[in-house]
Amino acid sequence: MKPVIRRIFFLIVFLLSGCGGGGGDQTSTTTSPLPTTTTTASATTSTSAATTTTTTVVAGFSVGGTVSGLAGSGLVLQNNLGDDQSINADGSFAFAAELASGVNYSVTVAIHPTLPDQYCNVNNAKGTVAAAGVSDIVVACTTGRFNVVDTNQSLCYDSTGGATKSCSGTGYDGAYDGNQPNYTKSSDGTMVTDNVTGLIWTSKVDRNGDGVVTVSDKLSQSAAMNYCAGKDYGDFTWRLPSIKELYSLMDFTGEDPSGYQGNDTSGLALFIDDNYFERAFGDSSAGERIIDGQYATTTIYVSPLGTMGGNTTMFGVNFVDGRIKGYPVEVNGPGALLRRCFMCIA
């Protein structure tokens, strides 16, 4: 949604109606006195018995910040997935549309710079306007690097007993915050923007849209690549991710359910943020295990020794048990059992 945004102004038109006498119609426009109104981003109309008063109250605050490190061209920022703002040089910026107090903002990179290829990271990207302009959004562009997302792991464990311990000085994942996972879901819930890597993901694994993830939604690697390439949605060019891209979604707050005997998956903690991405497990009705939540990638494991009984092997991510492994790329076994979950990226 794009709220109507303008600076505060008051327009009061008193239409004097029904006056007796032969003076004819009278219309006056004034800027005071001001009626008591609630400040919102939309027009407010109030009516009294004596006069008809139309009061338009629009309050807006700028949303912006600073850009640094920009070397390429073509950088486009968005606020709430709209209001495109082209950036040509380092320095301060502000979106054209201003937001009313209480309105959320979420700044993302719509197009990263090219020539040279750059990645621009956005910090302080989200918040709620609080009766003041926002100017602390920091867009930092770098050349030739891929922003690594933190695994969301903030705890550290003793390597022998497994008890939690202080992270200080350990050098463990939990000792580093890094680029914390940060996602934005599209309004229809079908796409997720990773605000750290800049990748845009399809969020659904339920390919046939019947509301449940089964083997019918899974494909072999080549079929998944064709499916993504043929996807016509959102004016993007879609493709199957590489292992590096898919692994960037790994969330180590998940818990490995290996050994779990039940069929109810509702209490299982996945290794992907299910606030943004669909939950997917093995299809027990088709003979799969609950942990058969492997996702396909384009990345092939090249080994002179051969793997998977001589079958070409791709790297995949299992968001149910948190593992990264090699899997055969094609359906060559008992029917659907070697098909994989997948998501597309742009």
Please tell me whether the peptide bond between 181 and the residue prior to it is cis, using omega within 30 degrees of 0.
no
User: Is 136 among the residues that bind Ca ion (CB under 5 A)?
Assistant: no
What distance in Å separates the CA atoms of residue 143 and residue 220, rounded to the nearest whole number? Answer: 35
DSSP structure class, residue 285: G
| Subset of 86-115 contacting Ca ion (CB under 5 A) | none
Q: Give the nearest distance from C-beta 283 to Ca ion in angstroms.
A: 9
Cα 249 to Cα 278: distance, rounded to the nearest angstrom: 13
What residues numbered 176-205 form the site for Ca ion, per CB under 5 A?
Answer: 176
**Of 105 and 201, which CB lies nearer to Ca ion in the complex structure?**
201
By CB under 5 A, residue 208 contacts Ca ion: yes
Least separation, in Å, of the C-beta of 216 and Ca ion? Answer: 6
Cβ at position 162, least distance to Ca ion in Å: 18
For residues 295 and 318, give the distance between their C-alpha atoms in angstroms, rounded to a whole number: 6
Q: Determine the length of the chain.
A: 346
- Kindly state the smallest distance separating residue 212's Cβ from Ca ion, in Å: 5
Per CB under 5 A, does 153 bind Ca ion? yes
Using CA atoms, how far apart are residues 240 and 234, in angstroms rounded to an integer? 16
DSSP run (H or E) holding 222: helix 221-229
Q: Which is nearer to Ca ion, 176 or 301 (CB)?
A: 176
The single residue among 83, 98, 150, 292 that binds Ca ion, judged by CB under 5 A, is: 150
Among 84, 117, 136, 210, binds Ca ion (CB under 5 A): 210
Count Cβ neighbours within 10 Å for each residue of 162-189 and write b for 16 or more, e otherwise.
eeeeebeeeeebbeeeebebbbbbeeee
Residue 211-230 contact track with Ca ion, rule CB under 5 A, x = bound: ------x-------------
* Residues of the shown chain interacting with Ca ion in the complex, contacts defined by CB under 5 A: 150, 153, 173, 176, 206, 208, 210, 217
